[in-house]
Each structure stands twice: as C-alpha cells, then as structure tokens.
Structure 1
C-alpha cells in the first residue's frame, strides 16, 4: 500500500510566521478531501501497475530452467467429430481414455527431442507417428501396432522413415501439440521463455479477465525458423499460476490463411510446490467453433534420465526409408532394416529403368532382315 510520508525539515519554511504543526494540520473539508484524493490515487496507481514484458519473462524463464529434461503425456479428441462419424455411439464422460489422439513428448535442453503420437479408435491403435530431432537432424517415422493392441513402444513396427536437416520435421502443422499450445512451440522445439526472447517485439502487457481470473496479455509475432510469417500470439498469463498461459489466441499470418486458434486451460496442476503445469482444457479453431477439442495432460516427469535410444530415429523393419541425408553406421537390429541415422547407404526408391529402345531397334532390324530373306527366297 502506498503511504504518504513527510519530513519535518521539509515542512519548515524560511519564516517563523507559520509553524510546522500549522502546515500539517487539516482545518477545512476541502483540504481533507484533497488529502484523501491523493491517498486514493496513489493506491490505485500502485495496484494497477502491470509488470513489463521483460518482468513477465523472468518467472517463465525460471519455470523453464526448473528442468533440463521433461516427459509429458497427454491426450485430446473432439467429441463433436466423433459423434458425426459414429452417430449410434454414446461416448462416456471419460471418452478420451479410448478415443482420439494420445501422445508423449520427451524433450532435452541440449537439443534432441521426440514427439510420439498414436490414434485410438475405441481403444484400438490405428497408427503411430514419431517426430523429433536427433543429433544428426530431424526425422519423422510412421508405424503400426500389431492387431491394434494398446500402444507399446517395443511392439511398434516402423514402416516409413524420412529425415533431413533440423527444422524439417519440427515445424509442420501436424506436429503442433494441442495440450501444450502456447507453452511449447513445436515449430522451434522450445518453450515459452525462448519464444519471448525470439519475438521481434513484445507489446506492453494489458489486463484481461479469463474465466474469472485476472491475467496479463502479451502480444507478439511468432515466425517460422526461416523468418517468414506464421502467426501472431496473444498470451494471457495468469499470475496465480506462475504466469503460465491460461488462454492463447494465435492469429494466422501466413499468406492465404485466415482465422485463429484458441486454447484455454480450465485447470492447472501443482507438480511441486510453486511449480505448475496445465492439467486440462479446450482448444478450437475460429472457422470451426463447434468442433471443440477436449485435452488432458495425464503425466509430467521433470528431469527423467536420458535414454539415447529414444532420441534417435527408429529402425525401419521393412526397408522403406523414404528419404535420408545422414551417413555412418548406427544401431541395427539383427535381421531388420537399417536406421536412417546409421545407414551406410540410405535405402531410397529406385527410379524406373529407361525403356530399352536400342534392344527394340535391334529386334526390329532382325525381323526386317528375316522377312526380306524369306520374300527373296519364295518370290
């Protein structure tokens, strides 16, 4: 609370006609009103003072620096879409257990990360996808689980693998992680603290209310790694939960694109005293406002041990490596295909063989000679 203090030396004048007690006393209603007004305005200005953008970055930086590695498991689905696809199906309240997209992010602060995701349809795994960045580059793999059994990393049969320079697999639209939207920036493979540092300019924070929670809104551009426009971020940060985003609006800025994505946290979870993480919420796109996605974060592990095998491209068992720019020998399972990161000679689709025009011409010439000889003999 702001207070008004006075010093006796400040109140003593150059003449002795007016004494300090007379100067400090309030003898009229107008003077009393003036004093109360000063106290009130100083209190309001102190309470309304918002931290600067730099001051907001500090708690988010400390939040991120609390882990060197992190593993997050999550799931999300759109009830309206499922009800349109399966009109006779009555989805339970906990439908996310058996439906939609499930996933896991394993991230390290020294570069490599892996994002696994698998589609579930009434408990049956339809497909598995892995995107990530290893020490040699970015990669993306597609696989299946035999008979659609529950997801088990050891049971996945990886059937396709592509790789390339860092940045290729990490910023495609399909790699956006809905439950971490606005907190984790998948196109760069980093978190909100790095996004704020990367932003070309941050707006002065403004106050906004989100679901009865007073938040501070930051606005900044979030470009692609090559600097081209991607979207404008509006982050509503909640001071009551470590300034983590409670609502995120991302307005499309790419040429030919329109609309915005809205992400809201309905509940936070305190993993350790003073360290928060999103627990559940919703997500939707403005052009399809009825298709609201429910999402949940089901597990968070801070600083789990690093397993090198998890941060390298998986082994493709059917020799269907579709692209690779890596070289050198790596881990290889007996009787299996090669890993894209360790393939001595990447397996790629061979171009079609050229048509054998010379062979055809030779055959036609022989046929012509034989026909001529036959006509000459029997004419």
Structure 2
C-alpha cells in the first residue's frame, strides 16, 4: 500500500511538471473535458470505491482547490472527517474478546466426552478428579455444560442405558453363547448343527449334527460340553441362548449345576446373540455354501474341520487378526519359512511358519597321516 501511494504521488508530480510547459488555453480545455467525463461517470457509478492510496492523494490535492470547487468534488470536508475518524478507530482497535473465561481446548473437550462414554457411572465430580490427575483443572459446572452440549446424560441415566454390546464386552471372559445352524443337503434334507462359542476367545465347539433335534439330545450335548471343558467350565458364569423350544428346563439345569446362569435373548432380537450369528454367516460363506453336503456324517466331518481351522488358522478381527489358539508370544519368521496347508480339499488354506533349514554340508573326510 505504501508503494502504491508513492507511485501515485510521483505520477501527480510528473503531471504537474508537464502542465507547466503547456499553454493556459490548452489546460482550460482539458479541464473542461475532464469535468464533463467526470459528470458522465457519476451518472453511471453511484458510489465509487476508493482505495487507501486514492483517498490520500485526493485529500492532499483537495487542500489546494478553491472553496467553491471543493463542494463539487468526490472528496468533501465531511468525507475527510469520516476518513480521519476511521483512522482513529483503526489505531485504537483491539482484538475482540468475548466475555468470561476463555473456552476449553478441543483436546480437553474430547477427553471429557471420552471419559463420560467409557465410564457410564462417573459423575461430574468423578470426571473432574480424573482430569485433575491427568493435569487438567476443569470445574464440575464446565464438565456439565460440555456433556450437555454433547447430548450425554448424567451418570445415573448413562449407567441405565447399557446396551447389549457393552454388556457382552464387559462380561466376555465369562460368557458362552449357543445356537442352531441349518444346512440343506444335496438331497434337500434339512440338517441341524448345534454349536457353542466362547465369547472371549471366539473358540467354537461343534457339538452335534442331526436331522431331528430334540430337547433330550440338546441336553446330552450340554453335558458333553461341560465334560470337554473340564476345569475351565467353572470360569463361565453366563450362557446366552435364544427362546427355541429345544432348550428345555433340563438343558438350563445342566448349566445351573455348573454355576452358569442361562440368559434367554429378547424376542426378535438377533443382535443380542450377534457373535454366533456372525459365525453362522461366515461358516456359510466360506464352507457350507461352497460344498454339496450328502448327509449327517459328511456335514459333521466338514464342520469339525472348519471349526478346527477357525480356532487355529483363521485371523479374527476382534482378536487383533489372530486365531483363538495362537500363541501371543510368537516370533515371526522370514517369509521363506512359511508353508501352506490345504483344508477341505483346498477350499481353505492355512499358513504356518517353518524353522529355516540349515544348508546340508557333506561330512568331512578323515585326514591322512603324514
């Protein structure tokens, strides 16, 4: 802006020097022509927009005009006073600040929301104490306003709004879930598969296959499951099942004797037992829908192999892309030591790490005596 002002001043001085060498008549004619052009432009432009440099130049030149001509100029005394007042306001202008305390940082707001969501029973003071331990000093009233803007209820309401997902996650290490899966054979015969899943590890137990499931058959399979679990059976406190009529009182009594409470899912709520429902979908997409099943024996063999593959050789998203039976302290080996194992005739593939083979060295020849 300063360079523009200097340029305009230089242009005006140069114009004045050129006017000194001209005749008075020529100057008067040019002035009349310029006045007429200005009048024409005023008819087309209601209010011209002037830059800061234009205003400075016009203000400087207006001081040397006769009083009678100043009244008809773009820059009038009132305009000059207005510009001066604007400059005074600009000089004393300050950064606008709102009333009250400065707002919370976005990181602190996100931390308050996170603590409230992850801990439904924590009230405002409890969250305030946790924030102080983390190095943030926030008032309880501020926490209340933040949660109110985030549409997060107070602690009693948040604790009472526990969903099935949060319940299953908090109780996963003590949960079992069971369900039936049906498969159509190549002869259009309907077979039922009963299986149980350990929610924490996602380990699946295929217990039986039959065409006519009954309550006594399911009860016997429950006894077999507890025998297979052995000492681990006492770790499971809850069993989730649907309201199928094949789950009789005798079936519930088997688990009650082990100290496991049976929790029936609400009616028409498949998401309440979402883990086994998801396993059924995966088993159909990867196994049963890609094979022609001939009978019970065939289906039992196929599902046993698939369950073994699911427990030992399949990466699960919920387990950080590991299999239920994987060793958490496994040491990865180079890619050259990985071997493929085909399951179900190549329908599924498993990959195992193999120790690197040392190069074969021929035995050293005995040295001859000198």
TM-score by length of 1: 0.22
Q: Which structure ranks higher in relative contact order (CA pairs < 8 Å, sequence separation ≥ 6)?
A: 1
Q: Which has the higher helix share?
A: 2
Q: Which has the higher strand share?
A: 1
TM-score by length of 2: 0.23
